[in-house]
Structure 1
Amino acid sequence: MQAITSPVSTNPNRVSLWANLISVYILWGSTYLFIHFMTERMPPLYMVSIRYLIAGSILYGYARLTGTPRPTRLEWRSAGTLGVILLTISNGCLSIGLQYIPSGMAALLGGLLPVFLLTLNWVSFGKKRPSNLALAGLSVGLLGIYLLVKPDKLQSTTGIDAKLIGTGLVAFGNFAWAIGTLLTPRLTLPSAAISSGIQMIVGGIVTLLASLVLEPVNLFSIFDAPAKAIGSMIYLIIFGSIIGFSSYSWLARNAPPQLLSTYAFVNPVVAMLLGTLFAGEVFSSQSFVGAIVALVGVVLITLGRK
């Protein structure tokens, strides 16, 4: 498979498109809860770095063993840059933010991503105005996110200052993710699997270095992790990193930004349901209405894509 040097494909295979969308919709909706479980008693940057180093090594090794050509220096640099933006900065901010706000709240703030994606693609990257229907879907989706995030019973126990810190970190992480997403089809990258592997390896190394400087850990602190953290990390490696991130990378190459941004409306619904069932977060009737409104926004954006 040749390196990607052209814009996003406008006619991807429909089955592959929806299979990857469903993967990102469901699996990434569950990652918020498992990141919370993974970092309950362990430093967040350290656990994130170990997760990506393992997952990246598996993906890279599998790609090479199955005949994928060795990446060039330019491909390593391009994929590594994305790894730092998407994983070290964006996912690092999310993991730290989850120390201050509930997992459901963090997922709801993912509703900012379509704003960043469509705005950046409009004013900078693509100079392309979204269709009126897509803009209407964005507005409806954001209304749904507002209704989801508003319930009074979904409160952080750490106070308003901590909530502001967590909200700011997650919002900045979404901004960085939007930049990385829009950069993806503009960089010279190797094939999807090996590109994802490089991104995780480089992002994992940079995150580990940051962890060793900022957190009270050493290279072998993983052996002190409780079973719940290890089990959550294994889930995130398989379903969040290897399957989910690979699906997202494929979508970033082959799907228009309007369609790709819809996962940010579905993930909060999944995250809220799981948070209610397994983490004691309240899913009220207002949250249910917000979930329905957000899904309507997904449908409108999908119909409005060019």
Structure 2
Amino acid sequence: MKTRAYIALTLICVLWGTTYFAIKIGVDHFPPFAFMGIRHTVAGILLAVFLLVFRVGKDSFTWKNIRPQLIPGLLMIGLGNGLLGWVEKYVPTGLIAILFALVPVYVVVYNLASGKREVPNKAVIAGIFTGLAGVLLIFRDSLSQMTDRSYASGLAVAFCCTLFWASGSIISKNNRSATGPFFNTAIQLLSGGIFLLAVSLVTESRTQQPTLTSEVIWAMAYLIVFGSLIGFMAYVYAVEHLPLEQVTVHTYVNPLVAILLGWAFLGETVTGNILLATLLILWSVYMVNRALRKRKFRILKTNIKDIPAVLELYREGIALQKSRGKVHWPDFTAEYVREEINNGCHYKIMYGRRLAAVFSIVYNEPVIWEDSPGEKAVYLHRMAVHSRFRGNGLFGLVKDWMLEEARSRKVTAIRLDTWSESKGLTAYYQKAGFCLVGIRKIPETTELQDHYRNTELALFEMKLPRH
């Protein structure tokens, strides 16, 4: 499953980076608004037909579901991506790709300005200003060409395209619907594509006669099949099976692919300032994503209504343990989880409204650690992570939370255990800063679950720094 997801991510990185080159080939021989309008309209029709034929969300095709997707489609596909075709007649494809890499940062700026979701910190602020420096460097490097009105207008419109795309993304995200990404994309492609065809009829029908060359046909086919359909389906598949921050790597790779193709096949000049601007903008996106990613996950106490989802997460974890070795958790019952919840020692990690992971803690371990009644620490037990959120550094998040919990309770250590035969986990915990303090064989006891009996556990501890 993960192999296919990584293949899908590779496709996104390559395909979406090559679309700038394909658009350039098309608009050099065909009116840009007509070219982009046909591309998006045909892609939207094909996707809609696919949904209807295979009965994927067939009942979604109602005005109530279509209407919320019209404005995002107009902004992202019509104005954001559609105007791009006109811009590429005058501005190098690499520059446009670099500017589009800033779209995630624009979304963050909007959330900061509107007081929603994000609270600025030093890393976010630094990332925003680093991206701004990259944009200013692009415009500074282009000063000598600003006397060319077409180039100057194209660069300004390119900047506006990124703002339109960011605006459409924000509206699309705020208009949450249950219709699914394929339906939403089909409607957005159709609304944006039809808008561009209307613009073409008004502005291009008398001034530009379309020339249907082989270059135009191949560029159009490539953009419809690979840029729109395969590219989007690969994106949806990658998002479903990989952590979101891994998928966003395409934001960094796409501009590099566009710059390389523009330099190799279109004769576009790559100056030192352009390379520096590229590094600044990509670094800004990385800093903002990294700072915000850590804050999207929230640790909360589990409640009774979470029990079915918790049990499902445990079942997934048990299946993974069985595939890796002989020792695994037992099948936990709803009563067992309910007791931990009532005792206030069961926690969940939420990503928005999704359950990303669960874990439990205790403050004294008389059997595993042979603690005396008065000895206290923060002990981690049974952390289970949803497959979609593995690789997000959630263990590090829990470790930091445990350190804060230990400080608040005025104890001096955090502790955890795992089966001694788990060499991979032993190395992982040691790399995370825990010290292996010993191996202990658990005696026969009724105070622990059956899987602990006659089992050797590796015990790990992290001491709190003294202030």
The TM-score with structure 2 as length reference comes to 0.53
1:21-170 matches, cutoff 5 A: 22-70=10-58, 71=60, 72-124=62-114, 126-143=116-133, 159-170=147-158
Cα offset for 1:274? 0.8
Residues 260-300 of structure 1: per-residue CA shift (max 9 Å, x gap): 87755443222111101110112345544554555444443
Aligned to 1:5: none
Closer/same/farther in 2, CA of residues 87 and 252 from structure 1, 3 Å limit:
farther
Counterparts in 2 of 1:92 and 1:189: CA distance versus 1, 3 Å: farther
- Aligned-CA RMSD value: 3.7
**1:123 alignment partner, SS class:** helix
Structure 1, residues 86-112: CA drift from partner, whole Å, max 9, x if none?
111111221111122121222222244
Worse-matched range after superposition: 206-215 or 73-82: 73-82
CA distance in 1, matches of 2:23, 2:198: 20
Question: Counterpart of 1:103 in structure 2: which amino acid?
Answer: T
Whichever structure has more helix as a proportion of its residues is 1
Q: CA deviation at 1:132?
A: 3.3
User: Which segment drifts farther, 138-147 or 185-194?
Assistant: 138-147
Aligned to 1:275: 262
CA contact (8 A) 1:114 1:138 kept: no
Q: What are the superposed Cα offsets for residues 86-145 of structure 1, whole Å, 9 maximum, x if unpaired?
A: 111111221111122121222222244244211112222735224533443444455556
The alpha-carbon deviation at position 26 of structure 1 amounts to 3.0
What is the match of residue 185 of structure 1? 173
Q: Larger deviation: 22-31 or 92-101?
A: 22-31
Q: Secondary structure at the match of 1:106?
A: helix
Look up the equivalent residue of 2:149 and give its one-letter code. Answer: D
Asked whether the equivalents of residues 117 and 261 of structure 1 are also in contact (C-alpha less than 8 Å), the reply is no
Segment drifting more, 283-292 vs 187-196 = 283-292
Contact preservation (8 Å) 2:101, 2:281? no
CA distance in 2: counterparts of 1:234 and 1:281, whole angstroms: 24
- 1:42-74 per-residue CA deviation (whole Å, 9 max, x = no partner) reads 110001111011111111111222221232212
1:34–1:130: structure 2 CA closer, same or farther, 3 Å change rule? farther
What CA distance in whole angstroms lies between the structure 2 residues aligned with 1:168 and 1:296?
Answer: 23
* Structure with larger Rg: 2
Greater strand percent: which structure? Answer: 2
* Counterpart mapping for 1:193-272 below 5 A: 193-216=182-205, 224-246=211-233, 263-272=250-259
- Closer/same/farther in 2, CA of residues 36 and 127 from structure 1, 3 Å limit: same
Rounded Cα–Cα distance in structure 2 between residues aligned with 1:257 and 1:95: 29
User: Which sits farther off after the overlay, 261-270 or 70-79?
Assistant: 261-270
Task: Measure, in 1, the Cα distance between the counterparts of 2:109 and 2:2.
Answer: 26
In structure 2, C-alpha distance between the alignment counterparts of 1:75 and 1:273, rounded to whole Å: 41
CA distance in 2, matches of 1:261, 1:149: 26
Unaligned regions of 5+ residues in structure 2, if any? 296-467
In the alignment, the residues of structure 2 paired with residue 134 and residue 171 of structure 1 have an alpha-carbon distance, to the nearest angstrom, of 21
Change (3 A) 1:89 1:225: same
Tell me the secondary structure at the aligned position of residue 148 of structure 2: helix
C-alpha distance in 1 between matches for 2:238 and 2:122: 23
Question: Percent identity of the aligned residues?
Answer: 27
Q: Quick check: 262-271 or 57-66, which moved more?
A: 262-271
Alignment-mate amino acid for residue 54 of structure 2: T
- TM-score, normalised to structure 1, is 0.78
| In 2, Cα distance between equivalents of 1:132 and 1:21 | 30
Query: 1:280 aligns to what SS in structure 2?
Result: coil
Q: Cα distance, 1:83 vs. partner?
A: 1.3
Figure out how many residues of one structure are paired with residues of the other and give that number. 289
How many angstroms apart in 1 are the aligned matches of 2:283 and 2:231? 23
